[in-house]
Structure 1
Amino acid sequence: MDGFLENSLKFIEDSGWLAPLFFIVLHVIRQVFFIPVLLVCLVGGYLFGTLYGSVYSIVGLTAVSIVFYGLVRIFPGIGAKLTDVKQHFFKGRQDWNLPQMMIIRMLPLIHFHVVSLYLIETTKGLREYSRKSFLVSIPPAVLYTAFGDMIHELPLAGTIVFAFFLLILFMLFRKKQSNISWEEFFQTKKP
């Protein structure tokens, strides 16, 4: 993985005006080599700066999501395997809102495609999925590109404080209501 990433970095640096295109392609193929999103976004910040690196990462992450959408439609087994992982993280909940999904996408411990699978299941088609994938890709792309070095080199205490901050944000943006069906509210206990 390190060799591939180093070779890719060197290739992108030497490719001149095609570098943004190759960087976006790196985002799409990174999943084959099990390279985390965080590392690719860090490379984007290193190569292109915060603004352009963030833009290219957003485009790349959205492209990855659209490719994943197609793969799940063509090979349903991919989605079935990720459903178990999704159930582990989300505990069967299906009512996350868009700001919560943005925060979840920033957490490096949650697999990128678990969030994509959730978006596939909660959207009505490719157009809505693409729009939401684009929006959900903005926070991690900007955060990892702009502050990647700072996050990567934080001591353990700083990492814990940052994770706690994300958890507080996640809880602040949750839905404040829950729906209970009539039958569920008035269900009778059987002796």
Structure 2
Amino acid sequence: MIENLSEAIPVYIEQSGILAPILFVLLHLIRPLLFLPVIFVCMVGGYLFGVVYGSIFSIIGLTLMCIIFYFVAQKFPNLLSRFAKMNDNMLKKGPITMNQIMILRMVPFAHFHLLSLYVMQQTKSFKDYVKYSFLGIILPSIIFTSFGQMIIDLPLFYSVVLLVFLSVIFFGFRRKNSEKQTNIQWKKFFKASS
């Protein structure tokens, strides 16, 4: 059934004419209900609209998906308990940084909403959440739209090399528990130095 749906969606969007970008953005919004991976939807965008427009439409759709997740999470805190169990398993070795979240967004099998939960936990306001969600979506949208098929079709050796490379970068950005971290707000920093 999913394979038939995967084949029918691009054809339907392609035949919808001027409504195609709107339907594509809506596909990003209903993607979790259809159990479609982010990389698949972004690749469809690259196929239908090309790299530039496909990336733009994917960025819009994924950003809207993050915003919807934020409000659903606020409205239904019980939903977050399901993610909390996955969260506990991931964070046994310490919290992940915003840089690590951005890198994990580029890993095709990373859970999109679990990463959104991490962004929620590390930001103080809705505005910051949207900002970091948007910034974290730009590069994966471009990569998945333009190179998504290449990543999937890579021979096993190159897939392993890519996974090792991303893992090295991921663990390189890990926050050490022994380090003390000082956060200075942007406005305060420039106010004090001027």
> TM-score scaled by structure 2?
0.86
Residue matched to 1:66: 67
* Structure 2 residues without counterparts, runs of 5 or longer: 181-194
Q: Summarize deviations over 1:144-179 as a string: whole Å, max 9, x none.
A: 111111101011111000111112222343446744
Q: Report if aligned partners of 1:12, 1:19 keep a CA contact under 8 Å in 2.
A: yes
1:67-106 correspondence to structure 2 within 5 Å: 67-91=68-92, 93-97=94-98, 99-106=99-106
Counterpart CA distance in 2 for 1:110 and 1:167 is: 12
1:41, 1:53 within 8 Å by CA — same for their partners in 2? Answer: yes
Q: Give me the whole-angstrom Cα distance separating, in 2, the residues matched to 1:91 and 1:172.
A: 17
Deviation for aligned residue 1:55 = 1.0
* Other structure's SS at 2:27 match: helix
Structure 2 equivalent of residue 171 of structure 1 = 171
Give the root-mean-square deviation of aligned CA atoms.
Answer: 1.7
Decide whether the 8 Å contact of 1:42 with 1:144 is kept in 2.
yes
> Which aligned pairs between 1:1-191 and structure 2 lie closer than 5 A?
1-91=2-92, 93-97=94-98, 99-175=99-175, 178-179=178-179
> 1:68 aligns to what SS in structure 2?
helix
Distance in 2 (alpha carbons) for counterparts of 1:177 and 1:34: 36
For 1:170, give the aligned amino acid.
Answer: F
Q: Is the 8 A contact 2:94 2:177 kept in 1?
A: no
In structure 2, what is the Cα distance between the partners aligned to 1:168 and 1:7? 38
Counterpart Cα distance in 2 of 1:86 and 1:179? 23
| In 1, Cα distance between equivalents of 2:156 and 2:72 | 37
Q: Cα distance, 1:52 vs. partner?
A: 1.0
> Which ranges in structure 1 are unaligned for 5 or more consecutive residues?
181-191
- Name the aligned partner's letter for residue 127 of structure 1: K
Q: Percent identity?
A: 42
What is the letter of the counterpart of residue 127 of structure 2?
Answer: R
Give 2:64's aligned amino acid. A
Distance 1:155 1:95, change over 3 A: closer
